Amino acid sequence: MNVRQLDLSRRTIALAAALIGTVSLVIGAHAALNMRAIDAAKAVSTDQITGSIGQTSRLALVIGNGHYPDANAPLTQSINDARALSSSLRKNGFDVDMVEDATKDDMVRAVNRLKSRIKHDTVVMLFFGGYGVQAGRESYMLPVDAVIWKESDVRRQGVSIDGVLDMMKEQGAKAKLVVVDASRRNPFERRFRSYSHGLAPISAPDNALILSSASPGKVVDDGKGEHSVLVSEFLNNLNAQGSAESVFNKTRLAISRASEGDQVPTISSSLLEDVRFGEAGG
């Protein structure tokens, strides 16, 4: 091998070594970037998981039915009540689905929307203002398009409050809150009963709290204010904040005292969770 060939060989080896070094650097840099990306992804995932711990979702379905074709006059308070309560619940961290003058299809769709969103950490609230009728041992919320001439029509055209509560339980809701303002004299029961019986007792399933505007079998007259007596007192106590049981009980006592015992709301409780208003997260 002559000197020129030896010199070329050395240059070739040097270039090859330099190329190998460059490739190694590129591979190392790429690997480092990949590791950083993986670490970043892990960090984001950890943040998301950590952020979800202790956070309780809050859902509310608020239904205000006022314009019933069979009624002599609309229930203007029911609409006002639904709007005011929705606003107050949103301030308390609830994601509110509000429906006004709901038909049977509207109510069924709203209940199904609620069902699809309930998780095991969800606090769920249902409010209904409008006409309610009991059939058998169940109380039914009546849609504005209900056509009722006999008791069997109630089961077919109404939406069972007990049925909605059972759905919440089956979906595993953390806690269930219900406010029913429907113990009104209505234009339906007189068609198949000699007098109005109000609503049937609503039994609380596991971890539930229920407030109804009157005692079972009793009816109450609407006042002349912007809101019903029940919702007016409920909003006052809700805005003052506190535990759900405290808000419900204070509402009951205020109405009972103001009416001198003529209107006594009913509370049914099996609540195990410390649900508090005024705290968006728990």
Is 44 among the domain residues? no
Range of the domain at 89: 58-270
DSSP per residue, 193-262: SSS----------TTEEEEESS-TT--B---SSSS-HHHHHHHHHHHT-EEHHHHHHHHHHHHHHHTTTS
| Residue in the structure block whose two tokens are 């006022």 | 66
Residue-level pLDDT at 80? 97
Structure tokens at 150: 């006999």
Q: For Cα atoms 63, 248, 246, give the angle at the middle one, nearest 5 degrees.
A: 140
Is residue 91 within 8 Å of residue 278, measured between CB atoms? no
DSSP class of 58: E
Q: Give me the residues paired with residue 178 across strands.
A: 126, 210
Residue-level pLDDT at 110? 98
Residue-level pLDDT at 244? 95
Is 146 among the domain residues? yes
Residue-level pLDDT at 39? 44
- Nearest CA to 97 among 125, 56, 57? 125
Helix (H) or strand (E) holding 88: helix 76-91
DSSP per residue, 89-127: HHHTT-EEEEEES--HHHHHHHHHHHHHH--TT-EEEEE
Is 31 among the domain residues? no
Residue-level pLDDT at 7? 53
Check which CATH number belongs to the domain holding 182 and give it: 3.40.50.1460
Residue-level pLDDT at 44? 35
Residue-level pLDDT at 49? 31
Residue-level pLDDT at 1? 52
Q: Give me the residues paired with residue 60 across strands.
A: 96, 125
Residue-level pLDDT at 33? 42
Is 51 among the domain residues? no
Residue-level pLDDT at 28? 52
CA distance between the termini of the chain: 86
* 94 Cβ contact list (under 8 Å, min separation 6): 58, 59, 60, 125
Structure tokens at 266: 């009913």
Is 280 among the domain residues? no
Is 13 among the domain residues? no
Q: Which amino acid is at 56?
A: T
CA 169 to CA 183: how far, in whole Å? 24
**Alpha carbon of residue 6 to chain centroid:** 84
Is residue 144 within 8 Å of residue 174, measured between CB atoms? no
Is 49 among the domain residues? no
- How many domains does the chain contain in total? 1
Is 41 among the domain residues? no
Low-confidence ranges of the chain (pLDDT < 50): 3-6, 8, 13, 19, 23, 25-27, 29-54, 281-282
Residue-level pLDDT at 194? 59
